[in-house]
Amino acid sequence: MKNKKILQVEKLSVWFRSGECEVCAVSDFSLTLAEGETVAIIGESGCGKSVAAHAIMRILPSSSRIDGNIFINDICITQLTEEEMERIRGDHIAILFQSPDRSLNPLYMIKRQVAEPLKIHNKPADKQTIETILRQAGCNHSDIISKYPCQCSGGMNQRALLAIVSGLNSGIVIMDEPTKGLDYDRVKDVQQSLEEIKSDMRGIILISHDISFVRSLSTRIMVMYAGEVIESGLTSDILTQPMHPYTRSLLMSLPEHGFVPIPGMAPALSEIPAGCRFSPRCTMSDEPCNHFHPDLVRYKEREVRCHRY
């Protein structure tokens, strides 16, 4: 029997008002997360990864508008009130934000940062529970509990955040760049902490630029370009046999593949090409690529948005 679907996003689009106009930051984004899965979202800066994550959490600014449906544990959240949504956040789904420095309150000790969300969600928040949660997330120094974020290293703060999120036991966790700005050893620490707590979580959405991190933790990968998914599939298939020219270029730009840069830049949201969004940078683009926007086509476990297939 297939594992239960715990998160379903159907044809999500997000627009931001910009003066008199609107720009579309995410279009036609669909995702299914089943129990036990870790789905990674990769793509260059500005392609819409965080906006999609914030739409799922319903924490986008009021200058935004969304279309599509989002189901969290079979609950359609798009029409819920903010009060109802507050229960969904924490009880059903949690997010680890992109910037740990901005996510932790500089005026609270780590123990209070872990305790407050637990209390809000009516969970035990005694000293022993907090110590256990921190230890499980890899914070092994017992004195971290009485430290302020400015007294901890970046890696330690990141693991404290991991502890806050895992302590809520919300099942689905979105991790937005959990290794950003960390050096190699700290990345390995966070990876180890994540592997340890992964089994307690029902499903993870992992947003990252760090492909080796994604390779070791994810079951599937979704590749985004200029606001849309251009390829998705099993992690090993995407990394060893990329089909979309953009995925191939992205992998070639990694240090382990020779650092070959992708020519040009991703389009501004106000200047999205009419045809394939990658065509102005694609070495394989042909006439139809410039004029017709390709659909996302499914091939068994893989989905690709390219006229060549």
How far apart CA 96 and CA 65 sit, in angstroms, is: 23
Q: Are 187 and 179 in contact (CB under 8 A)?
A: yes
282 scored as a contact of ligand ATP (CB under 6 A)? no
Q: How far is the CB of 209 from ligand ATP (least distance, A)?
A: 6
User: Which of residues 12, 40, 51, 55 is near ligand ATP by CB under 6 A?
Assistant: 51
Identity of the amino acid at 21:
C
61 scored as a contact of ligand ATP (CB under 6 A)? yes
Q: How far is the CB of 226 from ligand ATP (least distance, A)?
A: 9
Q: Are 55 and 205 in contact (CB under 8 A)?
A: no
Q: Between 173 and 202, how does the x/- string for binding to Ni ion read (CB under 5 A)?
A: ------------------------------
92 scored as a contact of ligand ATP (CB under 6 A)? no
Q: How far is the CB of 85 from ligand ATP (least distance, A)?
A: 19
62 scored as a contact of ligand ATP (CB under 6 A)? no
7 scored as a contact of ligand ATP (CB under 6 A)? no
User: Which of residues 6, 49, 133, 225 is near ligand ATP by CB under 6 A?
Assistant: 49
How far apart CA 92 and CA 72 sit, in angstroms, is: 7
46 scored as a contact of ligand ATP (CB under 6 A)? yes
Q: How far is the CB of 97 from ligand ATP (least distance, A)?
A: 11
Q: How far is the CB of 28 from Ni ion (least distance, A)?
A: 19
User: Which of residues 2, 19, 20, 45 is near ligand ATP by CB under 6 A?
Assistant: 45
Q: Between 32 and 61, how does the x/- string for binding to Ni ion read (CB under 5 A)?
A: -----------------xx-----------
Q: Which partner from the list Ni ion, ligand ATP, none does 47 bind, CB cut-off 5 to 8 Å by kind?
A: ligand ATP
Span near ligand ATP by CB under 6 A; candidates 29-37, 41-49, 239-247, 255-263 = 41-49
Q: How far is the CB of 224 from ligand ATP (least distance, A)?
A: 7
Bridge partner list, 228: 225
Size of the site for Ni ion (CB under 5 A): 2
Q: Which partner from the list Ni ion, ligand ATP, none does 273 bind, CB cut-off 5 to 8 Å by kind?
A: none
Contact positions vs ligand ATP (CB under 6 A): 16, 25, 43, 45-51, 61, 63, 98, 269
